[in-house]
Each structure stands twice: as structure tokens, then as C-alpha cells.
Amino acid sequence: MPNKHYLSYFKCTVNHFRTIVEYPLVFANVVNMKLEIYSDTATTLIPSNDRAFNYGDGFFTTMCCLDQQIHLFDLHIQRLQSDAKRLFVEISDWSGLIKAIQNTAMSAPRQCVIKVHISLGQGGRGYSRGAQSEPRALIKVSPFPDSLDALSLSVGQGYLSEQSMLAGIKHCNRLEQVLFKRQADVLGLDDVVCLDSRQHIIETSSANLFWFANNTWHTPSLNHCGVNGVYRQFLLNMFTYYDMDFLVGDYGLIDLINAESAFACNAVRGVMPIKQINVSHNNQQTLSLNQQQTLQEQTTLYTNNQLPALQTLIQQFMLIESNK
């Protein structure tokens, strides 16, 4: 039975970004971290022995930047610090990286996406990190994606790998997500619902999932796989702040199918209402016999009556967080 709980990140010790912009960016003061800033129009050469390129040895975060301000900036930094700690990455000067990110935002287009990618730098052949390896940060500015209406989803074929050492981390091994997104593209859909090998709902290829049922908001546990998204964490913080009923736990597809309202979310697009989930697009190899008999070729349509009130609370809590 899912238990109500609050997922906390590794405690962040950085200042709020609005104070950071008061200080000039000086790259010479960044110690033990190579910083490069590039945009889509620039060419950045990645060394052939870069560990993120060769082994996926790195992690990243993707941020929404509007009017030179990064939404949920503190949560992005907290996740970077948490992921660094769990992946045994030592970064000596977080303040230098934070200033570089904020400096990028100040000169960025009015609405854009900023991606911070941290590699374990250059290393020799083999999986062992060399003693001379230094973390390498790349900050990339991209155009904001086109807006999406309510999502049409199917159920992904295959399973997400379960690995507790990596669960929740936004690491650079994203081939599973590439293949799941390809399934959605082939079907002409927005995305697919990804399950683990126990047939528990985890996420979509690029977003976390929430739904409303029995007067309670629900979201899957990420103890074995999946990404603990920044917007997911923001919503859990909000549910806790307003003392709202929510559950984090293990759920089957039927729980999502029977929900009153459902949405996907990530830090770039925020809340994306789910219009429908069409199980008939799946060849049902992913589903158990019991689920196949229950769901058959069902298409679920959501009313999403709870979302307007939720969006109002989100706007209020955004203001509360930005004024801290």
C-alpha cells in the first residue's frame, strides 16, 4: 500500500539565484571544473576520451528560462548536487557553476531552454575513472519547444531497467528513453507510459506522471528506476506545504486508467494534461494476461476537472518559492 511521504533532495547550500546575479562571472576563479558555454549555433568539440561520451558517465538537468530567470532554479541545483554525491563526483566550486548558469540566463533569449550537462571529463581506456579526471560542465541554450495540447499516450513496449544505484538520477544513459520516444513517434502519439519489469507505472519517456483518484493525488515511486524530476519534486513540496492528500507508491496501469484526471510534467513544459491513453496501440506483450483481459483494447478519456484548481495552487506556490 503506498505511503504518504516527502522526497527530499540532498540539502542545498547555495544562495537563491536572485542574489547570485549581483556578482560578476569570473571563469578564472573556477577551480577543478572546466566550464564551457555553447549554443545550438556553435560547434563544441567533445574529446574522444570524454567519459560521458564513452560511458554515459555524467548527469544533467534541463531548465525553463523565461525573461532571463530560470524557473525552479534552486531545485535544479539541489538535484545536480544530489546526483553528483550519489555518483561520487567531487565538484569543488559550485558557486562558479551557478554563476555561469545565471550569466547564461541573463544573456539568453526571452524564452528558451538551458541544459547543464556535467561529464566526468577526460579519462583513459576502461571504466575506471582516472586520477586526473576533472568534471566538465557544458551549458547549452536551445529554443523553447512548441506548445503541446492535451497528450495522447500509449503504453510502451518493453520495460525500464531497474537499478537502485541509479534510480531517480538524471544520468547520461538515456537510450531507453530514446527507444520509448521512437515508439511514440512511430504511432504518431505524444509519448508512451513506461513500466518496469514488475509492470508498475514509472513515467513517460520525458516526464513524470500524476493522477487524481479517490480524492487523492498519486504518483509512482522511483525507488528502482525512473527520474526524480524537478517539477515532480516541486509538486510534492507543494502538496506537503498545503497539506494536500497525496500518495507515492507502486501502481499498475489499471490505477492510471481508472483515474479521474491525469497529467505528465517536467521542468520545461510544466503540467501537461493527458487527454487519453490508448492501450490498443500496444501489442500487449508488455502487459500481463490479467491486465490484457481487464484492459483489452480500451481507450481512456480523462475529464481533468481537478486541473484548473491545481494550476491555481501551482501559480501561488511558485510565487511563495520565488519570494524566499
Between 188 and 322, the more confident residue is: 188
CATH no., domain 151-322: 3.20.10.10
Residue 23: closest CA among 99, 128, 114, 121: 99
Indicate the residue type of 22: E
Give the model confidence (pLDDT) of 28-60 as tens digits.
233 345 555 555 556 667 888 889 999 999 999
- Digit-coded pLDDT (tens) for 119-165: 988 877 888 887 767 888 889 999 999 888 899 999 999 999 999 99
CA distances from 217 to 211, 220, 246 (A): 6, 11, 5
Residue 12: predicted pLDDT = 29
- Asked whether the beta carbons of 179 and 286 are under 8 A apart, the reply is no
Per-residue pLDDT of 79-91, as tens digits, reads 999 999 999 988 8
Annotated catalytic sites, by residue? 62, 170, 203
pLDDT band at 205 (very low <50, low <70, confident <90, very high): very high
Q: Is it the case that residue 170 has pLDDT exceeding 50? A: yes
Which of the four pLDDT bands, split at 50, 70 and 90, describes residue 196?
A: very high
Q: What is the pLDDT of residue 70?
A: 96
- What pLDDT score does 243 carry? 97
Give the C-alpha distances (Å, rounded to integers) separating 58 from 44, 221, 268, 319.
17, 23, 21, 32
How confident is the model at residue 73, as a pLDDT? 97
**Which tens digit of pLDDT belongs to each residue from 149-158?**
899 999 999 9
Per the CB < 8 A criterion, the answer to whether 76 and 64 are in contact is no
> Which of the four pLDDT bands, split at 50, 70 and 90, describes residue 290?
low
| H or E, element range at 265 | strand 261-266
Q: Percentage of residues in the chain with pLDDT exceeding 70?
A: 80
CATH code that applies to domain 17-143? 3.30.470.10
| pLDDT, position 1 | 43
> Could you tell me which of 142, 141, 159, 130 has the C-alpha nearest to residue 57?
130
Flag whether pLDDT at 10 surpasses 60: no
Q: Give the pLDDT score at 66.
A: 95
3-state secondary structure 56-107: CCEEEEEEEEECCEECCHHHHHHHHHHHHHHCCCCCCCHHHHHHHHHHHHHC
> Is it the case that residue 287 has pLDDT exceeding 60?
no
CA 68, CA 311: separation in Å to the nearest integer?
Answer: 23
Where exactly are the structural domains of the chain?
17-143, 151-322
Asked whether the predicted pLDDT for residue 18 surpasses 80, the reply is: no
Look up the pTM and report it. 0.84
pLDDT of residue 308: 94
Mean of per-residue pLDDT scores for the chain: 83
pLDDT tops 80 at residue 291 = no
The residues, ordered by sequence, that sit 6+ positions from 256 with a Cβ below 8 Å of its Cβ are 193, 201, 209, 211, 262, 277, 300
Is pLDDT larger for residue 235 or for residue 258? 235
* Average pLDDT, integer, range 243-266: 95
